[in-house]
Amino acid sequence: MSQPDAQPAPPALPVTFRPTRTRAVLLSVGLAMFATITAIALMLENLSPGERVSFVFTAALMASVLVLLSRPKVVADEAGVTVVNLTTTRRLEWAQILRVNLRPGDPWVFLDLSDGTSLPALGIQPGVARAQAIGDARALRTLAEIRGTGANDH
C-alpha cells in the first residue's frame, strides 16, 4: 500500500513520542485537584488532624492516578525502542518490531512483534491530538522499516 517515495524522512534519534496535550491536561488537573482538596481540608474548622490527613492522603492518591495515566511514552534510539505504558516498561530491539499499526478506531499504536505477540504503545494515541498521533505513528513505522531486520526476513 505505501510507496517508498511517499515515506516521510525518519526523525533524528533519539526521539520521544508522547501524547503531550493529554499529559498536560492530566498533570494540570491533578495539581489543581490536589491543591483544592488540601485547601478545603485546611479551611474546614470541624475536622480533626486525622481527618485533615485523610483528605490530603486522598488528594495525593487521586493525583497519583493522574500522574500514572500521564506516564506513557515511546522512546526510539539507535539500538531500539523503549515502550513505557501505565505500569510496565519494555525494551525492544529494532529487529523485534515487524510492524507499527494505528488503524482507524484504535485507541493507540500496536507493535506487531517477531515473537507473534502484539504490544500496545500507549505513548502514541490519537485521542486529543489525532494529527500528531498519525505523524508519530508514521515516523515510528519509518524508523522500524529502515532499522529493523524483522520485516526483511519474511
The pTM of the full predicted model, rounded to 2 decimals, is 0.82
| Separation of alpha carbons 17 and 81, rounded Å | 11
Greater pLDDT, 44 or 148: 44
| Long-range contacts at 62-66 (CB < 8 A, ≥ 24 apart) | 62/30, 62/33, 62/34, 62/37, 63/30, 63/31, 63/33, 63/34, 64/30, 66/26, 66/27, 66/29, 66/30, 66/33
pLDDT in tens, 28-45: 999 999 999 999 999 999
Residue 126 above 80 pLDDT?
yes
Residue 151 above 70 pLDDT?
no
Pick the CATH number of 72-153 from 3.40.50, 3.40.5, 3.10.590, 2.30.29: 2.30.29
Residue 18 above 70 pLDDT?
yes
pLDDT in tens, 43-80: 999 999 999 999 999 999 999 999 999 999 999 999 99
Greater pLDDT, 149 or 110: 110
Indicate the length of the chain as a whole number.
154
Strand-strand pairing, 109-113 and 118-121: antiparallel
Domain spans of the chain?
23-69, 72-153
Residue 87 above 80 pLDDT?
yes
